[in-house]
Copies of this chain bind each other. A is one copy, B any other.
Amino acid sequence: MSETKLKQKLVEIASLAKKASYRLGQIDTATKNKVLIEMSDALLKNKKEILSANNKDIALAKKKKASIAFIDRLTLNDKRISEMSDSLLQVSGLADPVGEVIKSWSRPNGLKISKVRVPIGAILIIYEARPNVTADCIGLCLKSSNCVILKGGSDSLNSNKAIFDILNNITIKNGLPKGCISLIDVTDRKAVDLILKMDELIDLVIPRGGEGLIKEVKNKSTIPVIKHYKGICHVYVDSEADLNMAHNISFNAKVQRPGVCNAMETLLVHKDVAIRFLPQMIKHLQDVGCEIRGCDLTRKIAKNFKDIKKANEKDWSTEYLDLILSINVVNSIEGAIEHINQYGSHHSDSIVTDNKAHAEKFLKEVDSACVFVNVSTRFTDGHQFGMGAEIGISTDKIHARGPMALEELTTYKYIVEGTGQIRE
């Protein structure tokens, strides 16, 4: 396709989404829920079609010698299709954020002002080869009355198209505005460059994927972006920590699921408890195959342990997403906070302490989306927070921070009612 034709096609998709967004905002909750339930059913009923499309993608990926991890993320099966279906059903049961009066007040001149929650409009989701994202994002955007434009990884195009077509048929059957969901089915890399400049038609872009994808989107986009960067999360074991609790929390934060963004990457330990705390901790972690990289003091304390590499400057700012942990012994709580603010990714950080003043200081001064006291960092999650869903975890400070669900997919408008007021 020539660049002109490609651009024309993308403008058409985005214009249709923008236009549909004015109508989708007016669809009532019951209709939206009905559509979501039918979508959930349709995924199960058309399982064969989805799996057969997915098989094509898998065969192509194998031919390209994609990694096992890549193919795993790409692969759908009965269980994963059921999960997608369940997720849509769950979203149908969540409260509709649209129309909520956030606050309202009157002015001395009689104006009645209300701040009311409304959909954002047209949202572009750019993601990698994870076909489940297709259904998840359609569900969350539809429930919050946002039109969604999906641009998934080329390697999952057959799967995405199959899922999209099934769900799109339900929107058509129910008379939802044309273009309220759309899929960009071209694999040309230029498509992303072009659509990221369409800020007059698209209100928000959410990239979902690795650091490379997010940086690319951030650098190219003139549309506002909400980023979900890496998670370099810390647990800080304070001088006044319950060391048993600190052990359990640290172990959980590192080991329970090391490949996710809210897992701990660096353990910070106050010097006064390091000798009592670290040996047992390191032993337990090494027993389950966790590689340890330590500061000088850590290595001195653990000198009887084998294989503790020196953690260097780069380690402090690395998201391992693996069974690897860097450990730094700090002189003070201030040292811990400084380390986190300097090297962390402002995602999730926890202090283990029985000292209330220390806890308060940590909560106030650590500049992260989620700050914990005596809790594993693994709880940063839309479901764990009680939001009922999650479209991502924002490491941005603008619009949404931390776990994002339905409410975070809305904006507001001011409604002002009067009796003829004019400005003097």
Seen from chain A, the residues whose Cβ lies within 8 Å of a Cβ on chain B are 21-22, 25-26, 105, 107, 111, 113, 118, 120-121, 199, 203-204, 218-219, 222, 224-226, 242, 245, 248-249, 251-253, 256-257, 341, 359, 363-365, 367-376, 378-380, 384-386, 396-399, 401-403, 411-423
Q: Give the residues in chain B near A403, CB-CB below 8 Å.
A: 414
Cα–Cα distance between A256 and B359 once the two chains are bound (Å):
55
What residue of chain B has the Cβ atom nearest to residue A120's Cβ? Answer: B397
Check A111 against B379 for contact (C-beta < 8 Å): yes
| This chain's copy number in the assembly | 2
Q: Give the residues in chain B near A412, CB-CB below 8 Å.
A: 401
Q: Give the residues in chain B near A341, CB-CB below 8 Å.
A: 22
Q: Give the residues in chain B near A245, CB-CB below 8 Å.
A: 420
Q: Give the residues in chain B near A369, CB-CB below 8 Å.
A: 413-414
Q: Which of B203, B248, B380, B421 contacts A422 (CB 8 A)?
A: B248
Check A422 against B224 for contact (C-beta < 8 Å): no
Check B398 against A414 for contact (C-beta < 8 Å): no
CB distance from A115 to the nearest CB of B (A): 9
Cα–Cα distance between A224 and B372 once the two chains are bound (Å):
27
Check A363 against B398 for contact (C-beta < 8 Å): no
Cα–Cα distance between A21 and B367 once the two chains are bound (Å):
10
Having A375-B420, A378-B422, A401-B412, one finds 9 other A-B pairs with CB under 8 Å, namely A25-B365, A120-B397, A204-B398, A245-B420, A257-B423, A372-B416, A373-B415, A373-B417, A376-B421
Q: Which of B219, B242, B419 contacts A420 (CB 8 A)?
A: B242
Check A256 against B423 for contact (C-beta < 8 Å): yes
12 A-B residue pairs with Cβ-Cβ distance under 8 Å, sorted by A, are A22-B341, A25-B367, A111-B375, A120-B397, A203-B397, A245-B420, A252-B422, A368-B413, A374-B421, A398-B398, A399-B399, A403-B414
Q: Give the residues in chain B near A423, CB-CB below 8 Å.
A: 252, 256-257, 376, 378-379, 384
Check B113 against A385 for contact (C-beta < 8 Å): yes
Check B204 against A218 for contact (C-beta < 8 Å): no
Q: Give the residues in chain B near A368, CB-CB below 8 Å.
A: 413
CB distance from A49 to the nearest CB of B (A): 35
